[in-house]
């Protein structure tokens, strides 16, 4: 079935095929790797964040793990429930909100190969995208974000490195050349954040939403902070500086918490998955956010990065 899609695109136009993927996590990067494999390298990769692609007027042949652009796409492959309303922007799509990762959809849909190392890396990517990860994988995700912010053109190189050494562990992810050199560049600014996140992670807050204010520190550290604090409260919300004075916020919830991540995100115009979502808010929304949480019967604990815990 999927090979039909490859043939369909090849019949429609000549290579190289333009690929737009999510540049902020393993799923986006490795999905791009798999498309590179499916089209035998005849691709040009670009990376964006969801809030960028949603409003971009450019068009792409293949869009992965993102809301399709206003300019449209020939093929969309994605698993984000909240992008379902934008399917009309794609000529053809493989869209399944139940899929554990976009990488799995790309693998099943486009890749005509049974290299067990690739298959294992797809399974690993699905686990990571569900939020099951170790400390090194969380650090990798933070470093991917740093690259995305500072030199995103290098992500294409990273996606090829991952294809050469299909990752199965956080250790594998940290050892690819682009990532280990980024770690050397960022160690000094990351280490204080890591220490603080470790202390925050030892809190044990019941029925509480922990709001972690990371503003003033590098926003790319968020995935690592979320990992270190994952057991400290039912819901975690991070605040980092966004563009034009906006606040970028990531939300994580536990299955049995009173409020889910997606409920909070939707309430403030964001999206994502049930227990992992994101939103862009303003300073003036922070009070509304806290009120919403309290009205729904949960407590709020605000931690400002660097402050004593
Ligand atoms: Mn994904």
What is the per-residue pLDDT across 58-84, written as a single tens digit (0 to 9) for each? 999 999 999 999 999 999 999 998 899
Q: Are both 119 and 265 inside the same structural domain? A: no
Q: How far apart are the C-alpha atoms of 63 and 268, rounded to whole Å?
A: 26
Query: What is the domain-level CATH number for residue 40?
Result: 3.90.1640
How many Å lie between the centroid of ligand 1 and the Cα of residue 263? Answer: 19
Contact 245, 124 (CB under 8 A): no
Give, as one character, the DSSP assignment of residue 176: S
- Total domains in the chain come to 2
Q: Indicate the pLDDT class of residue 309, thresholds 50, 70 and 90.
A: confident
Q: Are both 7 and 145 inside the same structural domain? A: yes
Q: What integer pLDDT is reported at residue 114 of this predicted model?
A: 80
Instruction: Give the start-end residues of each E strand in 23-89.
Output: 43-48, 60-64, 73-78
Q: What integer pLDDT is reported at residue 1 of this predicted model?
A: 47
How many Å lie between the centroid of ligand 1 and the Cα of residue 45? Answer: 17
Q: Are both 17 and 155 inside the same structural domain? A: yes
Task: Assess if residue 147 is contained within a domain.
Answer: yes
Q: Are both 216 and 115 inside the same structural domain? A: no
Task: Assess if residue 137 is contained within a domain.
Answer: yes
Give the contacts of 8 (CB within 8 A, at least 6 positions apart).
92
Task: Assess if residue 190 is contained within a domain.
Answer: no
Q: What integer pLDDT is reported at residue 116 of this predicted model?
A: 95
Q: Model's pTM, two decimal places? A: 0.90
Q: Indicate the pLDDT class of residue 3, thresholds 50, 70 and 90.
A: low
How many Å lie between the centroid of ligand 1 and the Cα of residue 229? Answer: 21
Task: Assess if residue 59 is contained within a domain.
Answer: yes
Give, as one character, the DSSP assignment of residue 207: T
Q: What integer pLDDT is reported at residue 82 of this predicted model?
A: 84
Q: How far apart are the C-alpha atoms of 145 and 37, rounded to whole Å?
A: 24
Q: Are both 139 and 264 inside the same structural domain? A: no
Q: What integer pLDDT is reported at residue 142 of this predicted model?
A: 97
Q: How distant, in Å, are the alpha carbons of 148, 170, 193 from that of 142?
A: 10, 12, 12
Task: Assess if residue 180 is contained within a domain.
Answer: no
How many Å lie between the centroid of ligand 1 and the Cα of residue 100? Answer: 8
3-class DSSP state for residue 213? strand
How many Å lie between the centroid of ligand 1 and the Cα of residue 272? Answer: 9
Q: Are both 161 and 203 inside the same structural domain? A: no
Q: Are both 162 and 262 inside the same structural domain? A: no
How many Å lie between the centroid of ligand 1 and the Cα of residue 295? Answer: 31
Q: Are both 82 and 222 inside the same structural domain? A: no
Is the per-residue pLDDT at 91 higher than 80? Answer: yes
Q: Are both 161 and 227 inside the same structural domain? A: no
How many Å lie between the centroid of ligand 1 and the Cα of residue 294? Answer: 31
Nearest to 110 by CA among 158, 77, 87, 83: 77
How many Å lie between the centroid of ligand 1 and the Cα of residue 93? Answer: 15
Region 194-220: mean pLDDT is 95
Q: Are both 251 and 300 inside the same structural domain? A: yes
Q: Are both 130 and 219 inside the same structural domain? A: no
**Which residue would you say has higher pLDDT here, 217 or 299?**
299
How many Å lie between the centroid of ligand 1 and the Cα of residue 284? Answer: 30
How many Å lie between the centroid of ligand 1 and the Cα of residue 288? Answer: 29
The residue range of the domain holding 224 is 197-304
Contact 132, 123 (CB under 8 A): no
Task: Assess if residue 189 is contained within a domain.
Answer: no
Q: What is the mean pLDDT of the chain?
A: 95
Task: Assess if residue 183 is contained within a domain.
Answer: no
Q: What integer pLDDT is reported at residue 95 of this predicted model?
A: 98
Instruction: Give the start-end residues of each E strand in the chain.
Output: 17-22, 43-48, 60-64, 73-78, 90-95, 208-213, 235-241, 247-253, 271-272, 276-281, 299-304
Q: Are both 152 and 15 inside the same structural domain? A: yes
Contact 36, 62 (CB under 8 A): no
Query: What is the domain-level CATH number for residue 251?
Result: 3.10.310.30
Is the per-residue pLDDT at 274 higher than 60? Answer: yes
Q: How far apart are the C-alpha atoms of 118 and 303, rounded to whole Å?
A: 41
How many Å lie between the centroid of ligand 1 and the Cα of residue 53? Answer: 15
Q: How far apart are the first and last CA of the chain?
A: 54
Task: Assess if residue 246 is contained within a domain.
Answer: yes
How many Å lie between the centroid of ligand 1 and the Cα of residue 26? Answer: 8
Q: What percent of the chain has pLDDT over 70?
A: 99
């Amino acid at each position: 079935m999927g090979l039909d899609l490859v043939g369909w695109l090849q019949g429609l136009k000549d290579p190289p095929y333009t690929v737009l993927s999510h540049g902020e996590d393993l799923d986006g990067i490795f999905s791009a790797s798999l498309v590179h494999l499916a089209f035998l390298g005849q691709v040009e990769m670009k990376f964006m964040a969801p809030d960028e692609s949603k409003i971009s007027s450019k068009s792409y042949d293949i869009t992965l793990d993102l809301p399709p652009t206003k300019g449209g796409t020939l093929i969309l492959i994605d698993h984000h429930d909240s992008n379902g309303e934008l399917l009309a922007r794609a000529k053809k799509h493989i869209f399944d909100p139940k899929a554990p990762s976009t990488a799995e959809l790309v693998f099943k849909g486009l890749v005509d190969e049974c290299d067990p190392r690739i298959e294992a890396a797809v399974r690993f990517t699905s686990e990571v995208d569900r939020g099951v990860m170790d400390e090194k994988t969380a650090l990798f995700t933070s470093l991917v974000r740093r690259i995305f912010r500072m030199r995103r053109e290098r992500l294409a190189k990273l996606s090829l490195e991952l294809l050469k050494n299909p990752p199965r562990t956080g250790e594998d992810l940290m050892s690819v050349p682009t990532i280990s050199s980024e770690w050397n560049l960022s160690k000094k600014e990351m280490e204080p954040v890591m220490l603080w996140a470790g202390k925050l992670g030892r809190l044990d807050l019941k029925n509480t939403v922990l709001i972690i204010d990371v503003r003033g520190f590098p926003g790319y550290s968020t995935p690592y902070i979320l990992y270190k604090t994952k057991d400290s409260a039912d819901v975690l919300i991070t605040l980092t500086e966004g563009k034009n004075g906006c606040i970028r916020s990531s939300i994580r919830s536990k299955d049995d918490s009173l409020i889910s991540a997606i409920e909070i995100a939707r309430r403030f115009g964001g999206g994502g998955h049930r227990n992992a979502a994101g939103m862009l808010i303003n300073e003036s929304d922070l009070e509304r956010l806290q009120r919403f949480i309290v009205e729904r019967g949960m407590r709020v604990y605000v931690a400002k990065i660097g402050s004593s815990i």
